[in-house]
Amino acid sequence: MKFENFLASRILSYKRYKNTISSPIIKISILSIIIAIIVINFSVSIGFGIQNEIRDKFITVSGDYYISNFKNESFSTYHPIDLNNIDNQFFNSKNFSDINKVVYNPGIIPVNNTFLDIVFKGIDNNGFSSINQFVKNKDLLNIEVSEVLVSDILAKKLNVKKGDYIKFLFFKDQNSKIPLVRNLKVLELYNSSISEFDSKLVFGNIKQSQLINKWNDNFTGGLEVYIEKNDLKKQDLDFLFSSIPPDYDIQKISERFPEIFNWIKLFDTNIYLIVILMIAVGGINMITALLVTVLDKTKLISRLKILGANNSSIRKIFMINGFYLIMKGIIWGNIISLSLMIIQKRFSLVRLDPMTYYSDHVPVEIDPIKILLINLVVIVISMLMLLIPSRTISKIKPNSSFKLS
């Protein structure tokens, strides 16, 4: 064992050292590192967890990319796209995990003496399998032409339950004056926790939408394209745009709902700000602890200098001392934070308002790589900050310290 390591370990294990004036300050510094690690781990895990939860839910309901006629709006597809105009290689490509045909039919539901605006989203079997995670009865395989899925929110507004019938009024196009009436059965209730969807989207069979619009099977309102990862490679993206006629619009999910995705991007700023503040607080406390330790060990430093130890060697002793304290705080901080995060991930004890956060619980993403990087950053920055108080060692003169004693 090197001289510096040996002496640093002796200082830390010395019983009388634990009862010195620096002992409570050191304990506070270790506690600050523990709190910093807990706060940083929670901030990163919860921040990115909420981001991914919201992003995944929007992608599940709307796809990574949405292809439609330029004349259509986000929740209406009065103008169809002709599937015969799209290259067959597009539908057989392995670049996409799913390509779902959808039709959005704006409509109204008579409620007492007023009307409730809704959007009927016609989906095929692939589309039903993608939203099945939001349906209460997970054993359902498909939706019949005369059936619909209604959200919990709409069910409460309409005072309906599973098995009830709802009267819908649809218009074939924007200029139609006579509505088409449909009585459709509530197959099941769903809950996506996305208020923008749950408050107005009713899911049904795409054949019902085609009957309303009087389209054949070659026409659809739009295509929802799902990919394995959030971003396509350049060549895959080129293939996507080259396969679709130029008079059809291709929107990424973040372009289709810019307000939502700009909002969740703000989480990044908050996360990084919390990380910087916590590292700064922990580092400043460690500076204080090391400075107090150096001042408390003035006589020891003087004796070491008399015995021939140079400033660099003595500085290394106290840097090792500080490293041990930092590691103690980091280890305990990780144990506490990871234990709490695993409990939250497993049992979802802390709840949220889904109308605000698009989730009914605090989502936690435990990423070992991010946690490891956080620990390394905290160690490196804290050790660099410890260089500041360690410089006071060179200013301690043996003769003056013994005169004071």
Q: Please state, in angstroms and as integers, the Cα–Cα distance from residue 61 to each residue in 58, 145, 253, following that order.
A: 5, 20, 10
Q: Which residues pair with 313 in a beta bridge?
A: none
Q: What is the 3-state secondary structure (H, E, C) of 234-292?
A: HHHHHHHHHHCCCCEEEEEHHHHCHHHHHHHHHHHHHHHHHHHHHHHHHHHHHHHHHHH
Considering the chain, what is the average pLDDT of its residues?
87
pLDDT confidence of residue 11? 66
- Say what the pTM is: 0.83
The angle that helices 258-296 and 368-390 make with each other, rounded to 10 degrees, is 40
Q: Position of tokens 């409509």?
A: 107
61/54 Cα distance (integer angstroms): 11
Residue 179 DSSP one-character state: P
Label the pairing between strands 147-151 and 180-190.
parallel
Residue 87, by phi and psi: left (phi above 0), alpha (psi -120 to 50) or beta?
beta
Question: At residue 212, does pLDDT exceed 80?
Answer: yes
166/161 Cα distance (integer angstroms): 10
User: Around Cβ 107, how many Cβ atoms within 10 Å?
Assistant: 20
160/202 Cα distance (integer angstroms): 13
pLDDT digits (tens, 9 = 90+) for 320-379: 888 888 999 999 999 999 999 999 999 989 998 888 888 888 999 999 999 999 999 999
Main-chain dihedrals φ then ψ at residue 250, nearest 5 degrees = -120, 120
pLDDT digits (tens, 9 = 90+) for 188-203: 999 998 988 999 999 9
375/34 Cα distance (integer angstroms): 11
**H runs (alpha helix) in 74-113:** 88-92
The angle that helices 311-347 and 22-62 make with each other, rounded to 10 degrees, is 40
Q: Position of tokens 């908050």?
A: 270
Token pair recorded at residue 261: 């995705």
Are the CB atoms for 30 and 321 separated by under 8 Å?
A: no
The angle that helices 298-306 and 311-347 make with each other, rounded to 10 degrees, is 140
- Which residue has better confidence, 233 or 185? 185
* 3-state DSSP assignment of residue 82: strand
Q: What is the 3-state secondary structure (H, E, C) of 106-170?
A: EEEEEECCEEEEEEEEEECHHHHHHHHHHECCCCCCCCCCCEEEEEHHHHHHHCCCCCCEEEEEE
pLDDT digits (tens, 9 = 90+) for 32-76: 899 999 999 999 999 999 999 999 999 999 999 999 999 998 899
pLDDT digits (tens, 9 = 90+) for 104-131: 999 999 998 889 999 999 999 888 888 8
| 59 alpha-carbon distance from chain centroid | 13
**Burial category of 30 from C-beta neighbours within 10 Å (exposed 0-12, middle 13-18, buried 19 and up):** buried
| Of 226, 242, 272, nearest in space to 90 by CA | 242
pLDDT confidence of residue 21? 62
Q: Which residues pair with 119 in a beta bridge?
A: 106, 201
- Percent of the chain clearing pLDDT 90 (strictly above): 49
Q: Which helix (H) or strand (E) holds 188?
A: strand 180-190
